[in-house]
């Protein structure tokens, strides 16, 4: 699914949507006026380059190719997700990845964390739709591994939302494990439980098909004890992850 990265001078940069040390997300426009999103991975340090060599060459596919595959999987499973267009990878003479990016269609809406930070709580219908799609995701054995509010675009028309960033996701061919379900739910609700109204949480739980899953206290017992410290680190990291506010 990879290709040689095309020349980008024909793409006009409209905005930088998010940026961290190793990732940049930009809104672009092509010569026909179509708006796109480009997510680029960078390797600014020797450690980053080594990680890219190991994870994206010797022991697996580059992130952009995995994200492309997983976005397509979600859409085929009728789970609302952004529409991937293509993954582009540049390699050096030894075959190691030096840079890569993913192009997707521009989806409407704003990130859930931004909306809540600006007192724009999504509707009860939107929360029910989120619960339905998360349930569907788990029914088709998909462990997202990144269900933070920053990875969900919300808008005011059905299907109300689009999932983002499934580069680290895992598909369990024999069915998703309870610990994986709990991990997704815990990441999603840890920063939301105290700020989302109860009626919205009830709508989510009813659509998801399980009571109490919006309360992290009810989810923690399903996380294996040996993995709880790692889960706490991920939750703290997600709370301060990059973004343009």
- C-alpha 90/C-alpha 184 separation (Å) is 32
Select from 205, 215, 242 the least CA-distant residue to 114.
Answer: 242
Tell me which H or E stretch contains 30.
Answer: none
Dihedral sign of CA atoms 67, 80, 142, 243 in order:
positive
Question: Six-digit token pair at 35?
Answer: 């708006």
Measure Cα distances from 210 to 111, 125, 207, 220 in Å: 25, 17, 8, 15
The DSSP call for residue 226 is G
Indicate the pTM of the whole model: 0.88
pLDDT of residue 110: 94
Q: Which domains occur in the chain, in start order?
A: 12-105 (3.30.200.20), 110-239 (1.10.510)
Question: Which residues have a Cβ under 8 Å from the Cβ of 128 and sit 6 or more positions away?
Answer: 203, 204, 206, 207
pLDDT of residue 70: 97
Q: What is the mean pLDDT of each run of 10 residues along the chain (245 residues)?
A: 52 90 91 92 79 69 92 96 92 79 94 93 97 97 94 92 94 93 96 95 98 96 93 84 48
On whether the CB atoms of residues 104 and 84 are closer than 8 A, the answer is yes
Beta bridge partners of 110: 154
pLDDT of residue 89: 87
């Amino acid at each position: 699914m990879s290709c040689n990265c095309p020349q980008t001078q024909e793409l006009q940069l409209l905005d930088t949507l998010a940026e961290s040390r190793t990732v940049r997300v930009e809104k672009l426009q092509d010569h026909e006026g179509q708006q796109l999103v480009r997510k680029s991975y960078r390797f600014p340090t020797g450690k980053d380059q080594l990680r890219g060599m190991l994870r994206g060459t010797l022991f697996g596919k580059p992130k952009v190719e995995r994200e492309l595959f997983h976005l397509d999987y979600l859409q085929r499973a009728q789970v609302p997700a952004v529409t991937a267009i293509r993954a582009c990878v540049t390699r050096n003479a030894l075959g190691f990845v030096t840079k890569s990016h993913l192009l997707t269609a521009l989806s409407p809406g704003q990130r859930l964390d931004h909306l809540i930070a600006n007192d724009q709580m999504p509707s009860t219908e939107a929360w029910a739709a989120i619960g339905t799609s998360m349930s569907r995701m788990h029914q088709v054995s998909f462990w997202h591994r990144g269900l933070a509010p920053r990875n969900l675009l919300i808008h005011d028309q059905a299907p109300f939302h689009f999932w983002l960033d499934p580069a680290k996701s895992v598909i369990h061919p024999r069915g998703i494990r309870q610990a994986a379900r709990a991990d997704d739910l815990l990441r999603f609700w840890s920063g939301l439980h105290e700020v989302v109204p109860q009626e919205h949480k009830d709508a989510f739980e009813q659509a998801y098909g399980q009571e109490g899953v919006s309360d992290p206290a009810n989810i923690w017992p399903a996380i294996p004890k040996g993995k709880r410290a790692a889960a706490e680190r991920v939750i703290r990291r997600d709370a301060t992850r990059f973004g343009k506010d």
